[in-house]
Every structure is written in C-alpha cells, then in structure tokens.
Amino acid sequence: MFLALREIKKEKLRSGLIIAMIVLISYLIFILTSLALGLARENTDALDSWGTQTVILSKDANIQMGQSLLSTKQVDDSALTADDALVGQATVVAKASGHEKLSAVFLGLRADDFIAKNLTLTSGHKPTSSRELVVDESFKDAGYKLGDTFKLNSQTSPIRSSALRKMPR
C-alpha cells in the first residue's frame, strides 16, 4: 500500500490519466445503458398507452411484436372478445415527392377495436377509408401536412394522411 501511494505521488500525470480513463469509460457505459433503456421503453410505450394487460405473440417471436406472425386459425383459437384488439405491425418507409423518406412503423387496426376508438388526435380526423392513415407528429416535423399523399415502401398507389397523433413520451 505504501509503495502504491508513493508511486501515485511520484507519477502524478500517469495516475491522473488512468483515473481520467476510468471516469470516461464509466461515463460511456452510463450513456450506452441510458440509450438501451430508452430504446427498450420506446418499444413498449404504444402498448402502455393502449392500457393493455396481455399481449399474445407467436412462440418464435422472441418477445418482439414485430416478429410475431399469427395465422388466422391461431387468432380464431384465441377467442378475442370486444375488449380485445387485433393489431398488425410492419416497418415501412414513407416517401412523397418533395419530402424526405421517413422510417415508420405501420400499425393496422380494426375500426371497432378499443384502440382505434380511444385514439386521441392532435389535428385532423380519423380515417374514413382504407387509403387514409393517422400519422405521428414526426411527419409534421419533416414537412408533411395533413392531406399529403405518400407511398409506403414500393406501394404503387398513394395513401393520404388524415390526422396527426402525438406519441406518448
């Protein structure tokens, strides 16, 4: 112990650099952990905002909604009630002329499900046809306006935004 303290006194610059490296590595670990927790929470915010208590996923989904594929028979066997909702999810790229491409998650809902009925909009109206979507305010931040038409992935016919929704934080 005595020798270590003596070495630290003698080599102040080297000891300071070692301590600074340990502090910077600790800070990096803190930042990366916070980022991972934030991303993990973002994936569950939609489910939390819907007030869900149970989610049914396929056994090979690795606990990820986007990887869960249920057959029609599996959905029929699950005996959904009026208090349950069927949600389809797909990752898409939205593109329109004059606007930048946006990565988004497309959620398909039935109009009579509680999620669609309880949807809170910041502007616009709920979709009235299969060619209309409710989009997140990040579309507005990217320069899109209500009523703009855009295509999802390689879709041939355009769809129109009918409302904006603020995502829960």
Cα–chain center distance at 92 = 12
Same domain for 95 and 138, yes or no, is yes
The predicted pLDDT at position 162 comes to: 63
Query: Average pLDDT for residues 127-144, to the nearest whole number?
Result: 82
Asked whether residue 136 is domain-assigned, the answer is yes
The domain tally of the chain equals: 2
The candidate with the shortest Cα–Cα distance to 101, out of 147, 146, 138, is 138
Cβ atoms 128, 136 nearer than 8 A: no
Same domain for 104 and 161, yes or no, is yes
Same domain for 101 and 30, yes or no, is no
Provide the domain limits for residue 149.
85-165
The predicted pLDDT at position 27 comes to: 97
Asked whether residue 41 is domain-assigned, the answer is yes
What does the alpha-carbon distance between residue 133 and residue 94 come to, in Å, rounded to a whole number? Answer: 12
Same domain for 28 and 99, yes or no, is no
Cβ atoms 163, 134 nearer than 8 A: yes
The predicted pLDDT at position 169 comes to: 45
Residue-averaged pLDDT of the chain: 80
Same domain for 93 and 160, yes or no, is yes
Asked whether residue 127 is domain-assigned, the answer is yes
| pLDDT tens column, 9-40 | 898 999 999 999 999 999 999 999 999 888 77
Same domain for 155 and 89, yes or no, is yes
Asked whether residue 151 is domain-assigned, the answer is yes
Same domain for 22 and 89, yes or no, is no
| pLDDT tens column, 58-111 | 777 777 777 777 777 887 787 777 777 777 777 788 888 788 888 887 777 777
The predicted pLDDT at position 74 comes to: 80
Asked whether residue 148 is domain-assigned, the answer is yes
Residues paired with residue 103 on neighbouring β-strands, in sequence order? 93
From residue 43, alpha-carbon distances to 25, 39, 46 in Å are: 28, 7, 7
Asked whether residue 22 is domain-assigned, the answer is yes
Asked whether residue 69 is domain-assigned, the answer is no
Rounded to the nearest 5°, which phi and psi values hold at 99? Answer: -130, 155
Asked whether residue 157 is domain-assigned, the answer is yes
The dihedral through the CA atoms of 23, 25, 31, 37 has a sign that is negative
